[in-house]
């Protein structure tokens, strides 16, 4: 739920106690995604999956930071779901619906957040529904690999553009495209904190805001959104669901990651 914006606020450094709370939130998110993997099958609706996710969040006394999230342009409705559930050419922000039934060959993106103990865990995963095409398999494999390539660069001796470049290189060297209008972000007390984290750098892009030294205690949601065609996007009439203009397939993977003295720590790890 994030479009590119310019850096405005200082990047928050979390204390040990605050990181412990983020770990707890991340574990709840991880449990939801593990449940989604088990239950996202042909014949199930995205509304069914939302109810399962809600039950897990409520079991821990956690809330969804997505539910009621204001629309980016303030002209549309607040987000009505506990999770995002996006299919095939839908990239992000799909609204769960009882009438949206999963079919064999679908590519399902589930984005989950948990607000717990005053802090947020945020993660997304792409699931194959039954047997999917070779193109879809390639898209999933490369996008997931690009996430981990980026995470490997989350080191206290690196800069943010090292993370971004690693994601972009993995994606583009495999013939795929990163989405440019939506991106990752800092996360912690708020769903969207500084810094903004695009998944691309090029000569037309001002890289100066990405010249950020990573420091222990920073927490970021790294989330490559990758497509088989062009990166141009369109928002549907519900004012939330983002699709590829050319209807190319999309994949989305995300983890909340902390910078530590010993390298990256994935706070939402589930598999």
What is the rounded average pLDDT of the residues 141-160? 96
**In sequence order, which residues have a C-beta less than 8 Å from that of residue 154 and are 6 or more positions away?**
163, 214, 220, 222, 257, 259, 263, 264
> Over 70: is that where the pLDDT of 40 sits?
yes
Mean pLDDT of the chain: 94
Q: CA 90, 96, 101, 105 torsion: positive or negative?
A: positive
What's the whole-number mean pLDDT along residues 149-157?
A: 96
In the structure encoding, which two tokens stand for residue 33, read together?
Answer: 């995604």
pLDDT at 152 over 70: yes
CA angle (106 as vertex; 98, 164 as ends), nearest 5: 105
pLDDT at residue 211, rounded to an integer: 85
- Mean pLDDT, residues 29-37: 98
pLDDT at residue 10, rounded to an integer = 85
Residue 260 CB burial class (10 angstroms; 0-12, 13-18, ≥19)? middle
The pLDDT, as a whole number, for residue 6 is 43
Task: Provide Rg for the chain, Cα atoms.
Answer: 17
Task: Quote the pLDDT of residue 83.
Answer: 98
Is the model's pLDDT at 169 over the cut of 60?
yes
* CATH class in words for 16-266: alpha beta
**pLDDT at residue 74, rounded to an integer:** 63
- Is the model's pLDDT at 7 over the cut of 60? no
**Range with the largest mean pLDDT of 66-75, 117-126, 201-210:** 117-126
pLDDT tier, 117 (very low <50, low <70, confident <90, very high otherwise): very high
- pLDDT, position 5: 45
**Is pLDDT of 128 > 70?**
yes
Average pLDDT rounded to a whole number, residues 203-227: 87
The kind and range of the H/E element at 265 are: strand 263-266
Span 205-228, average pLDDT: 89
pLDDT category at 204 given cuts 50, 70, 90 is low
Which residues neighbour 258 within 8 Å (Cβ) at sequence distance 6 or greater?
A: 14, 19, 22, 217, 218, 219, 264, 265, 267
- Per the model's pLDDT, the better-predicted residue between 84 and 205 turns out to be 84
pLDDT at 271: 80
Whether pLDDT at 101 is above 80 = yes
Q: pLDDT digit string (tens) for 246-267?
A: 999 999 999 999 999 999 999 9
7: its two tokens: 């850096």
pLDDT at site 72 = 77
């Amino acid at each position: 739920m994030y479009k590119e914006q310019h850096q405005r606020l200082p990047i928050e450094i979390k204390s040990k106690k605050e990181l412990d709370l983020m770990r707890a939130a991340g574990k709840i998110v991880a449990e939801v995604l593990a449940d989604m993997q088990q239950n996202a099958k042909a014949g199930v609706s995205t509304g069914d999956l939302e109810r399962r996710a809600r039950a897990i969040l409520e079991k821990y006394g956690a809330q969804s930071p997505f539910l009621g999230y204001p629309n980016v342009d303030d002209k549309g409705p607040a987000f009505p779901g506990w999770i995002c559930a996006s299919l095939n050419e839908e990239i992000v922000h799909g609204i769960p619906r009882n009438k949206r039934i999963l079919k064999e060959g679908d590519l399902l993106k589930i984005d989950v957040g948990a607000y717990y103990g005053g802090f947020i865990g945020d993660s997304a995963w792409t699931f194959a529904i039954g047997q999917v095409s070779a193109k879809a398999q390639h898209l999933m494999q490369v996008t997931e690999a690009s996430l981990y390539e980026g995470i490997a660069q989350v080191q206290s001796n690196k800069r943010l553009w090292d993370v971004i470049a690693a994601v972009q290189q993995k994606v583009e060297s495999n013939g795929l495209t990163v989405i440019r209008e939506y991106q990752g972000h800092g996360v912690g007390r708020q769903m969207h904190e500084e810094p903004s984290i695009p998944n691309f750098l090029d000569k037309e892009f001002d890289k100066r805001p990405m010249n950020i030294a990573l420091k222990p205690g920073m927490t970021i949601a790294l989330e490559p959104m990758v497509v088989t065609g062009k990166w141009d996007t369109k928002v549907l009439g519900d004012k939330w669901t983002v699709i590829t203009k050319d209807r190319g397939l999309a994949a989305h993977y995300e983890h909340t990651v902390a910078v530590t003295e010993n390298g990256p720590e994935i706070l939402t790890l589930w598999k």
